[in-house]
Amino acid sequence: MGEFVEQNLERLLPVFEQIQNVQLFDSKEVNRLVKQCRRYEYRLQKQEKTFDDFMVYVNFLQDALTLLRVRRNRNQYFHKHKFIEKPLKEKTASLLRRSLSKAYTKAIQLHPRDILLRCEAAEWELESNSSAENARTILQLAIRAYPADFRLYVSFFKVEIRFVDKILKRRKLLQEKKNEKKNKDADEDEAPQSSFDVDVEDAVLQLKICDAIVRQGLSAVDEEGRGKLLLEMWKDCSLFLHLSHASELLKSLEEKLNELDNEYTQLMEIEKAAREKKGIYDAYDEALTKLNTEKMLRLYLDFCAGKIKDGDMFAAHKKNGLICTLIEKGWASSADIPYVEDAIRNAENREEKSRLLEKILTIDQTSAALWTQYIECLMEKGDQEQNVLKTINKAIEAVPAESSFPLWELALDFTIGQKQPGNVDKLFYRIFDLGIHVDKFKAIRVKYLQALVDEKQLTKAEMRRMIRELQARRPNGIEFCRAVTESEVSEKDENVKLVKSTWEMAINEEGGQSAQMWIEYIKYLVRRHPEQISAIHQRAMLALENEHCDEFLEKWTAFQQNEAAKSMTLENS
Q: pLDDT tens digits for 3-27?
A: 888 888 888 899 999 998 888 999 9
Do the beta carbons of residue 499 and residue 480 sit within 8 Å? no
**pLDDT bucket at 188, cuts 50 / 70 / 90:** very low
Q: Is the pLDDT of residue 256 over 70?
A: yes
Rounded to whole angstroms, the Cα distance separating 142 from 149 reads: 9
Indicate the DSSP class of residue 113. Answer: T
Rounded to whole angstroms, the Cα distance separating 538 from 541 reads: 5
**Stretch 517-530: mean pLDDT:** 87
Name the more confident of 88 and 183: 88
Alpha-carbon separation of residue 50 from 45, 63, 75, 219, 463 (angstroms): 11, 21, 38, 40, 78
Q: State residue 305's pLDDT score.
A: 87
Alpha-carbon separation of residue 257 from 250, 452, 560 (angstroms): 11, 71, 71
Say if residue 400 is preceded by a cis peptide, omega within 30 of 0: no
Q: Is the pLDDT of residue 181 over 60?
A: yes
Q: State residue 199's pLDDT score.
A: 45
**pLDDT bucket at 200, cuts 50 / 70 / 90:** very low
Rounded to whole angstroms, the Cα distance separating 86 from 253 reads: 46
**Stretch 502-519: mean pLDDT:** 90
Q: State residue 191's pLDDT score.
A: 43
Tally of CB atoms within 10 A around 497: 10
* Lowest-pLDDT range of 179-183, 311-315, 386-390: 179-183
Tally of CB atoms within 10 A around 103: 14
**Stretch 345-352: mean pLDDT:** 69
Q: State residue 172's pLDDT score.
A: 85
Rounded to whole angstroms, the Cα distance separating 218 from 263 reads: 17
**Stretch 514-538: mean pLDDT:** 88
**Stretch 462-491: mean pLDDT:** 89
Tell me the average pLDDT of the chain: 86
Q: pLDDT tens digits for 411-450?
A: 888 888 877 778 888 888 888 888 888 889 999 999 999 9
Q: Is the pLDDT of residue 265 over 90?
A: yes
**pLDDT bucket at 347, cuts 50 / 70 / 90:** low
Q: State residue 344's pLDDT score.
A: 73
Q: Is the pLDDT of residue 241 over 50?
A: yes
Q: State residue 252's pLDDT score.
A: 94
**Stretch 276-281: mean pLDDT:** 90
Query: What share of residues in the chain are helix, strand, coil (percent, to 5)?
Result: 75, 0, 25
**Stretch 217-236: mean pLDDT:** 94
Q: State residue 185's pLDDT score.
A: 59
Q: Is the pLDDT of residue 279 over 80?
A: yes
**Stretch 487-495: mean pLDDT:** 84
Indicate the DSSP class of residue 530. Answer: G
Q: State residue 378's pLDDT score.
A: 82
Rounded to whole angstroms, the Cα distance separating 295 from 77 reads: 70
**pLDDT bucket at 389, cuts 50 / 70 / 90:** confident
Q: pLDDT tens digits for 78-126?
A: 899 999 999 999 999 989 888 887 888 888 989 999 999 999 999 999 9
Indicate the DSSP class of residue 458. Answer: S
Rounded to whole angstroms, the Cα distance separating 393 from 430 reads: 12
**pLDDT bucket at 351, cuts 50 / 70 / 90:** confident
Q: State residue 163's pLDDT score.
A: 92
Name the more confident of 183 and 366: 366
Q: pLDDT tens digits for 159-168?
A: 999 999 998 8
Q: Own/partner pairs for 91-96, CB < 8 Å, 24+ apart?
A: 91/11, 91/12, 91/61, 92/58, 92/61, 92/62, 92/65, 95/54, 95/57, 95/58, 95/61, 96/54, 96/58
Q: Is the pLDDT of residue 189 over 60?
A: no
Q: State residue 193's pLDDT score.
A: 41
Q: Is the pLDDT of residue 299 over 90?
A: yes
DSSP conformation letters of 419-456? T-HHHHHHHHHHHHHHTSSHHHHHHHHHHHHHHHHHTT
Q: State residue 381's pLDDT score.
A: 74
pTM: 0.62
Q: Is the pLDDT of residue 403 over 90?
A: no
Q: Is the pLDDT of residue 146 over 90?
A: yes
**Stretch 393-414: mean pLDDT:** 87
Name the more confident of 464 and 98: 464
Q: State residue 348's pLDDT score.
A: 62
Q: State residue 5's pLDDT score.
A: 86
To the nearest 10°, the Cα dihedral for 182, 183, 187, 193?
50
Q: State residue 194's pLDDT score.
A: 36
